[in-house]
Chain A
Amino acid sequence: EPEVTQTPSHQVTQMGQEVILRCVPISNHLYFYWYRQILGQKVEFLVSFYNNEISEKSEIFDDQFSVERPDGSNFTLKIRSTKLEDSAMYFCASSELAGSYNEQFFGPGTRLTVL
């Protein structure tokens, strides 16, 4: 069964460093998302992406964050200068179609630890 994959599973970085989280969405999906989950808290939407453009972003997704689809298979989230509060589990998701009724398939997540 097709699935969303994410690498690495765990990333440890120093505050102020740049990190890139990688995702491979399901191959025929066109819509891509990043969510994050701070330990013990709810899953929060960060950004949606379609046709090489950001469709929507949350207040969390400030200038320190960027997303890119560098090739036909990968979807990346970059945090330019990490802060302690960026420590969280980051989930990538993808869907075949747009709109709230279409299932978003989530990857297993990347745990980011900022020291």
Chain B
Amino acid sequence: QQQVKQSPQSLIVQKGGISIINCAYENTAFDYFPWYQQFPGKGPALLIAIRPDVSEKKEGRFTISFNKSAKQFSLHIMDSQPGDSATYFCAASKGDTDKLIFGTGTRLQVFP
């Protein structure tokens, strides 16, 4: 019930293409869904986050789509760039705790 399932494990995209990473959860008490970006040798850094009261949040080229009934959320990276090559983690938490439950990560490679 505490798990967050993430797919795909790895993703190769051409420059300018759309990268899509999907996550699913079971615990309906989760109320915060952040995405973290991690470059080699660095810690995860918050990229974008959403709460379940909205179905979509966009920040620049990054969009989270949230489907509450399906208990799924996804990250879309528009116009993917080589600089976006990193590992992306979805996560979830619930309001009475700071504990982040992470997905297994997706290694994105964007080729020129």
Q: Please report A residues at the B interface, Cβ cutoff 8 Å.
A: 4, 31, 33, 35, 41-45, 48, 55-56, 58, 91, 93, 95, 98-109
**Does A45 contact B101, Cβ atoms closer than 8 Å?**
yes
Pick the interface stretch among B13-21, B37-45, B67-75. B37-45
Complex interface: chain B residues within 8 A of A108 (CB): 41-43
**Does A43 contact B46, Cβ atoms closer than 8 Å?**
no
User: Distance in Å from the Cβ of B103 to the closest Cβ of chain A?
Assistant: 6
A42-B105, A100-B93, A106-B43 are known; give 16 further A-B pairs, CB within 8 A: A35-B100, A41-B104, A42-B89, A42-B102, A42-B104, A43-B105, A48-B99, A93-B43, A98-B98, A100-B31, A101-B51, A103-B34, A104-B46, A105-B45, A108-B43, A109-B43
**Does A99 contact B102, Cβ atoms closer than 8 Å?**
no
Distance of A114 Cα from B63 Cα, bound (Å): 40
**Does B43 contact A45, Cβ atoms closer than 8 Å?**
no
In the A-B complex, the 7 residue pairs with the smallest Cβ-Cβ separation, listed nearest first, are A106-B43, A100-B93, A100-B32, A43-B102, A42-B104, A45-B99, A42-B102
- The reply to whether the CB of B94 lies closer than 8 angstroms to some CB of chain A is yes
- The reply to whether the CB of B60 lies closer than 8 angstroms to some CB of chain A is no
User: Distance in Å from the Cβ of B14 to the closest Cβ of chain A?
Assistant: 26
**Does A44 contact B102, Cβ atoms closer than 8 Å?**
yes
Distance of A45 Cα from B101 Cα, bound (Å): 7
- Interface of B, helix, strand, loop or mixed by DSSP: loop
How many residues in B have their beta carbons less than 8 Å from beta carbons of A?
25
Distance of A44 Cα from B103 Cα, bound (Å): 9
**Does B44 contact A100, Cβ atoms closer than 8 Å?**
no
Q: Please report B residues at the A interface, Cβ cutoff 8 Å.
A: 31-32, 34, 36, 41-46, 49, 51, 89, 93-95, 97-105
Contact of A101 among B32, B44, B102, B103 (CB under 8 A): B32
A-B contact pairs, 8 of them (CB 8 A): A35-B102, A45-B100, A48-B99, A56-B99, A91-B44, A98-B98, A99-B98, A105-B45
**Does A91 contact B89, Cβ atoms closer than 8 Å?**
no
Contact of A100 among B41, B43, B94, B104 (CB under 8 A): B94
